[in-house]
Each structure stands twice: as structure tokens, then as C-alpha cells.
Amino acid sequence: MSAQTQWQTPGEGHELEAGAFGPTPSVTGSLQEIGGRPTTYWNDAIRRIRHNKLAVAGLWIISFLLVVAVIGPMLSPYSYEQQDLNNTYQSPTLQHPFGTDQLGRDQLTRVMYGSRISLAVGIVCAALNFIIGVTYGGIAAYFGGKVDEIMMRIVDILYGIPTLIIVILLTVLFKDKGVNPLVNVFIAIGLTYWLPMARIVRGEILSLKEREFALAAKTIGAPNSRILFRHLIPNAMGAIIVTVTLEIPSAIFTEAFLSYIGLGVSAPVASWGSLASDGTEAIRSFPYLVVFPALAISLTMFAFNFLGDGLRDALDPRLRQ
Amino acid sequence: MLKYFIRRLLSMILVVLIVASATFFLMRFLPSGPFSREKALPAAVVKNLEARYHMDQPLWKQYLSYIGNLLHGDLGPSFKYKNRTVNSIIADGFPVSATLGAVAVALAVLIGIPLGIWGALRQNGWQDNFVMFLALLGVSVPNFIMAVLLMLVFALGLHLVPAAGWGSVKQVILPAFTLAGYPIAFIARLVRSSMLEVLRQEYITTARAKGLSERLVIFRHALRNILIPVVTVLGPLIAAVFTGSFVVEKIFAIPGLGRYYVTSINDRDYTTICGVTIFYSALLVFMNFLVDLTYAWLDPRIRYVERKVS
């Protein structure tokens, strides 16, 4: 409502009446009723996410996977490495719902065990993204000038190098140094996957640090670290969460890819990538061996991408339509 | 433009040099040399081998000669195959990979763009939901899984195309679609969202107000502005196609560079790993450069006179 219409509303022909000079009736109550309950950024986001069926489905799938990863292998009567050479290459049955592999190991247990590895990779990737990417991008943007120039030039150069090639190279070298293959995958992912996060956080902080609340914090003498970590970064949390959610499936993919080409976990440990790789070898005769790990990994990536897409729609105000 | 060109050229060289140096030093710091086998070789043999590969010289000398050879385009001998050089391996494998990659990128553009436009024109209709679902599927299914599933269905199940091999047109279909899966999905999503944005702009309203047919509005006016974001993502997508070729070539038994790369990883053929890594990095950096130039050519507003740190 513009100021002009407000002035014109009381009388039709602008005639002054005695009643027009009385005290203004209190309207706060009714105004609040019209406006509905006050909402916050996060309440708003949660409401939007709930309406996005695919995102909710993604969240359910991820929760299910977490439960399976934690308790699945414990409930199984078999262990992931327990061989049964009398029952190799069994088709799916009640005893072995996903069948057994070339050494008679229960495929369901191995796929459930694989979910532990994939989710661990996802969690580690997310944590490293938070620790390295957010801090790096935040510091570059907050201090600006030469610091920003140098830090971002480094990111630009690293960006120019294809991630997967670097990851492969690092994994080859670490693996031969005798580092635990899984740790090795963590290191390789940790060293490379924080780059997009650093860029996004930098972009957010660059605009946030010009806002009044940042100035206010500075005026009352808050130290730089407090302004950055308590004021600026929490305000960039929407973009950070979206980026993390979308980085997780690509980290999970990378681990599976590395295991698939023989650089990830080594036998008898089962990862979805190595299971799919073993299954591919026997694809002509025993296709079910590759189908279940393939479904598991696709479903997981699906779920994270659905959730990430939904979160982006819910949290990123620039994309609202 | 020229200033920008030179600046990009220098940064390209810098990136390749960093990759080359990093691979070189990482390789030399390995605890076990490339000649350590299960059966220990006699000391004299090791010595001769080290002399052949100049590993008896001080590290800085080795480094300088490696970089020097690199500047001449010489990536050195292969550790595994006695009479082959890394250059000859690349010369053998790369044409195959490049053919496959080019087909995949072409498929991605020719399928992805129409899919995206279709989705945008039927926004929120079932067609749109279908396109978006397909796109999310394409982004989510890893390429090696896609390869296996396509092979199971179309080669082993329906017997429409050969399961593996290289040489005939039919054998290109499955691997090319596998590699194109992710880029198709990516481009379709991108085109859909940019199309929705472009269609809301005023020049589109003007075009419609002039009485142009919807076909002309979309293909003459809207499409041009959609091509720009598509071109910008082509760089990363080409990278995805190349790295995808590592597994896809292995699964479909295609004698391309990707398969040699994976084989050399499993054989610990260090000079080949190193050389092919540098080659891939140089190639991708160069592709990104080309993409940026195309970008400047497509969008007259971008002339790169002065590039601010963004």
C-alpha cells in the first residue's frame, strides 16, 4: 500500500469530520491475524521442502540407507568375508536374497557392508568440505585484497586440473606407499573436493560482509574470527548446505569409480564399486551380481541429488519464482 | 582480446607445468621403485635399468631433463613395454577415444538441448516432469553402472547391438550413449532453466507482439541466448566424457587411451601414468580455453578487455 492511498482512504470527498481526529484504533491484533504466524528463513525452508515430494523421498531413502548401513551387517547371519565354496554363484533365494558371489559370499551382506563405505565417504567429504572449503573461502572473502587474490588464484589453478585425474594419481601413489586404501580415498577426495565450496562461500561472504550487521559487529569490537564464524558464515549456511548435499553424491561416485578401476578398497572389503566391478566380470552368466550393487549406488546418488535439488529450491532465495 | 588470450595461454602453460612437476615428484618419492618385482632383480640389472631411465642422476637433473623433454613433446619411454614410448601409446589410443568422445558430445548437444526446450515449453506439465526425472536419472547413475545396464538390456537381453568391441558403427552406439548420459542430463536441466528465464525477458514479449510465430520466437530469438550457458559447461562436460572413457572403454573392450590409462594404473607403469595424466590435463585445459573463446565469440557483451577477479 502506498502512502498516497493511505491518506485518501478515510473520507470520500476529502471532507474533514470530527471523528477523523480521534485516537487511532489499535489494529495490531487484526494485522497479525491477516499476516499469519511470523515465519523465519528456516521455518520457511522446511515448509517448502515438505511440499517437494521428491526431496522428501530422497530424505527417506537416505535415512533408510543410514539404518541399513549401521545395523544391517549386524543382523545378517553371514559376514561380508565369509566364504562358502560349496555355494558359489547362487541365484537369489530366501537364504541369500541377492545371491552369492564367486566365493560363495552372501551378496546382500556385502552390499549392506558397501553402504557403510559409501556413506562414510559421503560423511567425510561433507566434513572436509565444511572444514577446508568454508574456512578457505570465508577467509579469502573476509580479508579481501591481496589475500583474496592469491588464495583464489590458487583455487583457479587447481580448478583447471581435472579432479578425477588428480584423485587417480594421488590414489595410485598413496596405495603403493601402503596407506590404507580407504583412508587414501578420503585423502584424495579431501584434497580436491573443497574447491567448489571455497568459491561459493567466498561469493556469499563477499556480499554479506558489506551488510549492516557485519558493520555493527565490527563497531562493537568483535574480533575478525568471531565476525567471520559467528556472523557471516551462519548467514551463508543455506548455500553451504546445498553445496554439501550436491557434493556428497559426487564423492560417493568417486569412491565407487576408484574401486571399480581397482584403486579403491581391496579385497575382501566390499564397496559398491568393487562389487559392481566383480559383477561386471561375470555379467554374461550371473547378471544379478552386478544388478544389486548397481541399484544400490544409483538409488543413493538419486536420493542425494533429489534432496540437494529440493534444498536448493527451498534455501536459495535467488531461485524462487 | 589479445591481452586476455595471452593471459589465458600463460595460465594454461602454468597449470600443465604444475601437473607435470607434481606427477614427477610424487612418482620419485615412492618407497618402492618401479623395478621392484616379487622376485628381486640382481643389483646389476637394477643398475642398468636405472641408467636406461636416467634414474641414477641427481633428482634436479632428472626433473630438468623430464621437463625439457616435455617441452619438446616427448613423454619418455614406457616402463612396462620395453620398446614403446608413451607418445606411441597416446598416438595409438587417442584417435579412438577422440572419435568416441566426439560422438558422445554431439549426442549430448543434439539430445540435451531439444529435451530441455521441450520441458521448458511444457513447464510443470507431465512432459516437463518426465524430462526433469530423466535428467536427474542421467546425473545420478554412474557411467560404469550405465554401461553395464545398457549392455545387459540392449546387447545381452535384446541382442540389438554387439556387447563389446570396436570397428563397426553398431559398436559405437552403446559406449557413446553411456558416455553421453551424464552430459545429456546436465544440458537438458541447464537448457530448461535458462529457457524459462529467457522466455520471461522483454525482447521475447516484443518478438511475440510483432506477431512472430512461436517457432520463430523460440528458435530465432530464445535459442541463441540459451547456447551461451550450454557452451560454458561444455568444458567440464568434455572432462566428464574423457574420464568416463576410462571405465567405458574397459567395459566395452575399446582400444582407446582410457583403457590404456587404466591398464597402466593396474600395471604400475609409472611413466605411462604420468605421461597420459599430463596429456589429459593439457587437453582439458586447452578445451576449456577453446570453450572460453567460443563464449566470447557468441556473446558480444563479453570481450574480455579487462577481466575482473570474479
pLDDT, tens digit, 9 for 90 and up, residues A165-211: 777 777 777 766 667 777 878 887 877 888 888 888 888 888 888 88
What residues in A contact B12, CB-CB < 8 Å? 160
| Euclidean distance between CA atoms A219 and B288, whole angstroms | 45
Segments in A26-144 forming alpha helices (H):
28-35, 41-51, 53-75, 107-128, 135-143
Comparing CA positions, the residue from A47, A276, A166 lying closest to residue B247 is: A276
Kindly report, residue by residue over B260-281, the tens digit of the pLDDT: 888 887 777 777 888 888 888 8
The torsion angle over the Cα atoms of residues A77, A302, A185 and B22, rounded to 10 degrees, is: 170
Q: How confident is the model over A84-98, as a mean pLDDT?
A: 69
Comparing CA positions, the residue from A218, A241, A239, A242 lying closest to residue A230 is: A218
| Euclidean distance between CA atoms A122 and B241, whole angstroms | 23
Segments in B53-125 forming alpha helices (H):
59-71, 86-121
Q: Does residue B307 surpass a pLDDT of 50? A: no
Q: How confident is the model over A275-287, as a mean pLDDT?
A: 76
Give me B186's grid cell. Answer: 546436465
Q: How confident is the model over A249-265, as a mean pLDDT?
A: 82
Q: Is the dihedral of CA B150, B152, B155, B157 positive or negative?
A: negative
Q: Do the chains contact at B247 and A260, CB–CB below 8 Å?
A: yes
- At A14, is the pLDDT very low, low, confident or very high (cuts 50, 70, 90)? low
Q: Does residue A16 surpass a pLDDT of 50? A: yes
Q: Do the chains contact at A261 and B246, CB–CB below 8 Å?
A: yes
Residue percentage of chain B with pLDDT more than 90: 2
Comparing CA positions, the residue from A40, A60, A59, A52 lying closest to residue A310 is: A52
Give me B260's grid cell. Answer: 590404456
The verdict on whether omega for the bond into residue A268 sits within 30 degrees of 0, i.e. cis, is: yes
Kindly report, residue by residue over B61-86, the tens digit of the pLDDT: 888 888 888 887 777 777 777 778 88
Per-residue pLDDT at A256: 84
| Euclidean distance between CA atoms B127 and B129, whole angstroms | 5
Q: How confident is the model over B52-56, as a mean pLDDT?
A: 67
Backbone angles phi, psi at B29, to 5 degrees: -90, 10
Per-residue pLDDT at B211: 85
Q: Do the chains contact at B27 and A173, CB–CB below 8 Å?
A: yes
Kindly report, residue by residue over A21-80, the tens digit of the pLDDT: 666 665 555 555 555 666 777 777 788 778 777 888 888 988 888 888 888 777 777 777
What residues in B contact A297, CB-CB < 8 Å? 142, 145
Per-residue pLDDT at A151: 87
- At B233, is the pLDDT very low, low, confident or very high (cuts 50, 70, 90)? confident
| Euclidean distance between CA atoms A55 and A52, whole angstroms | 5
What residues in B contact A261, CB-CB < 8 Å? 246-247, 250, 262, 265-266
Q: Are A200 and A217 in contact (CB under 8 A)?
A: no
Per-residue pLDDT at B111: 92
| Euclidean distance between CA atoms A87 and A85, whole angstroms | 5
What residues in B contact A184, CB-CB < 8 Å? none
Give me A275's grid cell. Answer: 562389487
What residues in A contact B140, CB-CB < 8 Å? 249, 298, 301-302, 305
| Euclidean distance between CA atoms B306 and B4, whole angstroms | 8
Which residues of chain B from 164 to 193 reach within 8 Å of chain A, CB to CB?
none
Which residues of chain B from 10 to 49 reach within 8 Å of chain A, CB to CB?
11-12, 14-15, 18-19, 22-23, 26-27, 29-32
Residue percentage of chain B with pLDDT more than 70: 89
What angle is formed at CA A46 by the lines to CA A43 and CA A51, rounded to 5 degrees?
130
Backbone angles phi, psi at B85, to 5 degrees: -105, 160
Backbone angles phi, psi at B264, to 5 degrees: -65, -30
Specify the DSSP class assigned to residue A62: H
Q: How confident is the model over A241-265, as a mean pLDDT?
A: 83
Flag whether residue B309 sits within 8 Å of chain A, measured between CB atoms.
Answer: yes
Q: Do the chains contact at B243 and A165, CB–CB below 8 Å?
A: yes
Q: Do the chains contact at A305 and B140, CB–CB below 8 Å?
A: yes
Q: How far is B284 from chain A (nearest CA, A)?
A: 7
CB pairs under 8 A between A and B: 112
Q: State the ipTM, two decimals.
A: 0.75
Comparing CA positions, the residue from A243, A247, A263 lying closest to residue A255 is: A263
What angle is formed at CA B158 by the lines to CA B154 and CA B162, rounded to 5 degrees?
55
| Euclidean distance between CA atoms B219 and A290, whole angstroms | 43
- Does the pTM surpass 0.80? The reply is no
- At B308, is the pLDDT very low, low, confident or very high (cuts 50, 70, 90)? very low
Give me B160's grid cell. Answer: 540389438
Give me A7's grid cell. Answer: 491518506
Q: Does residue B224 surpass a pLDDT of 70? A: yes
Please report, for residues B26, B149, B277, the alpha-carbon distance to residue A176 in angstroms, rounded to integers and kept in the order given: 11, 32, 18
Residue percentage of chain A with pLDDT more than 70: 77
Comparing CA positions, the residue from A178, A229, A182, A185 lying closest to residue A208 is: A229
Per-residue pLDDT at A94: 66
Top pLDDT among A144 and B307 is at: A144
Q: Are B15 and B23 in contact (CB under 8 A)?
A: no
